[in-house]
Structure formats: structure tokens, C-alpha cells
Amino acid sequence: SSSSSASSTGCSTAAVATGTANNAPPAKQSAKDYIFGKVIGEGSFSTVYLAKDIHHSKEYAIKVCEKRHIVKELKVEYVKQEKEVLNILNSNQNKTAPFFVKLYSTFQDNERLYFVLSYAKNGELLPYINKVGSFDIQCTRFYGAEILRALEHLHSLGIIHRDLKPENILLDERMHVQITDFGSAKILDDKPRPQPRRRDGEQSSWQRRNSFVGTAQYVSPELLTEKSVSKSSDLWALGCIIYQMVAGLPPFVARSEYLIFQKIIKLEYEFPDGFEPKAKDLVQKLLVLDSTNRLGAKDIGNYTSVRSHHFFAGLDFETLYKQTPPPIY
């Protein structure tokens, strides 16, 4: 739900430093602690700016949501959910979550909510796929593996992303994956949490469950037919993304969302000639209509059966973040 604009560079607006007494408790940050620069992402409910911390000159991506807009569009729950997921990912017990955007702080003013996130210098994965037409097998393997590792981590925390797509997969300065946009994520409750009292403009979880659809091309068939999602819905999306890295386009394309959905529920897609056979075999094992029969769906803990697919033969999943990603041409 975000797309980047890579136009002008640098930051402009001047900001005034906020003085805090030495003995005062750490003050909540405000927009005045940052110099806002260019827009680096735009969704329907937020704008992401490149921003510089005035104290340390460090760059961040600040996601700004207009309160009036999210209340009017009934997205209050989505924004809360995003913050909760980012907090879980950033909590001390989960200190090694290299494949995710990090949340540094949040604050608000009368009109807006602010999420201070790590800035993924190389932006979205999508333009890289589009620019080169398609990835070679080395690249597809590496990025497929990093996304799989990210899903292992997310799912181990009981979180389903539900909107995984190449626009939500960002690349840091070393070209490693940083997954973002948890506004559609679902936190599975093993221990039921107390239901917060609803305010105006909020939807009940029932309303949310029954109104959500991710991005058409990557939506799993079970969401369309049963309105149900599970961890393996993200594995379906992974299958779509691996297909897209190899073929250049996602597997299910059509003139309208409706026609895309028709194709998805009938598993109507084809492999172009020359599609690498090991990648084809993996995609065929992920793009399975019955979510319980997808490769990995029955794994406990890590996605061992996906890791050990011959497409990934020889790849060391434990040291991915230390490896130098293969160049994209």
C-alpha cells in the first residue's frame, strides 16, 4: 500500500530545537525534533517522509497519518495494529529481527500520528524487479530466502503479515530485506487479550475480519472463498513473489480485481517458457489452493520443508544477513 517517489533529494524545512532540563523525565518527541524532507512513500492512509533527527543528524523514515482521515475511513484499528506489531518486533526479547523495519518512536500532535521508522535507503523491491525485467536465479534464491526467514520470525511471534508484496519489501543500504507495512497484520491470540472498548470510528474485530482484502495479486484463495487467513496465507504470497522475481510479473494478472480473484480461486496461471525448473517446482508447492497442503504449512518452528527444497540447495539460512547479496542486473 505504499509506493515511492524518487524525485528531489535532501531536506528543507528548518526546525527549532526543543530544550529539556537535565533532570526532567525523557520528553516525548515531537515533529520539531526532525527536519522533514522528501516524500518516500504514499499509502491511502499515510505519507512516509525522509526525515533527519536534528540532534544526531540521523536519517529516518517517518510515517505520518492524519487523524481525521483514519477516523473517517474507519482505519483506527489498522493503525493501532501496526503500532502493536512494530512494538512486538522491537521488544527486547526479539532484539534480533534484522529483516524488519524498526520502530524508534511514536508521537502525535492535534492532527497527526507519527511513526519514526528506520530508513531503508534502497527503497522498494518492486522497482528492481521491474527495472531488470526479472531476477537471475542467484538473486531470486537470496531474496526468497530472506523473505522466508522474515516470515519464520514473524510467524514465530504469532503475527501474519497479510499484505506481503514487493512494495512492502524494502531494501536497506546493504541491499538486505526490510519488511514494512503492518497495517493489515493479524496478531494470533493464543491467550485471548482483553477487548479494548471501542470508540467512534473504530470497527470491531468482527468487522475487520470480514472487510479485509490485501492487495489483489497476492491475496490467498482462502481469503476470497472462506474469508479466513492463516500463516500459510503469507506462504502463498511468498510463492507469488518468487514467481514474480523469476517471470517479471506476478502469476495472477488481469484487467480488474474481480478477474484476478477469479483466476486465483481457480488456480489459473501459467509458467512462461524457460522458467527455471527448481523455482517452478517450489512455486507449484506454494501456490496450492488448500492452505494446509502448501509447502511449510505443516512445519513446526522454522519452515524446514521450504528451506530444504532443492531450489535453496547449498544456501546458508543462518548467516543470510552477514552475506553480501548477489548483485541485481
Interacting residues toward ligand ADE by CB under 6 A: 2, 4, 40-41, 48, 61, 101, 117-120, 123, 170, 180
Nearest CB to ligand ADE, comparing residues 183 and 251: 183
Catalytic annotation, pick one of 33, 163, 181, 234: 163
Q: Among residues 43 and 201, whose Cβ is nearest to ligand ADE?
A: 43
If you count them, how many residues does the chain have? 329
Q: How far is the CB of 278 from ligand ADE (least distance, A)?
A: 32
Smallest separation (angstroms) from ligand ADE to the CB of 180: 5
Nearest Cα to 309, choosing from 238, 252, 230, 221? Answer: 238
Smallest gap from residue 113 Cβ to ligand ADE (A): 15
Distance of CA 162 to the CA centre of its chain: 9
Q: Which is nearer to ligand ADE, 172 or 222 (CB)?
A: 172
Cα angle value 88/90/96 (rounded, 5°): 115
Round to whole Å and give the CA distance between 188 and 175: 31
Active-site residue, 53 included: no
In the chain, which residue ranges form alpha helices assigned H by DSSP?
67-72, 76-90, 126-132, 137-156, 205-209, 221-225, 231-247, 257-265, 277-286, 304-307
Q: How far is the CB of 168 from ligand ADE (least distance, A)?
A: 9
**Cβ distance 236 to 243 under 8 Å?**
no
**Nearest to ligand ADE of 117, 145 (CB atom):** 117
Nearest to 53 by CA among 92, 99, 104, 87: 104
- 106 strand-pairing partners: 115
Least distance between ligand ADE and beta carbon 178 (Å): 7
Give the amino acid at 219. V
The catalytic residues are 163
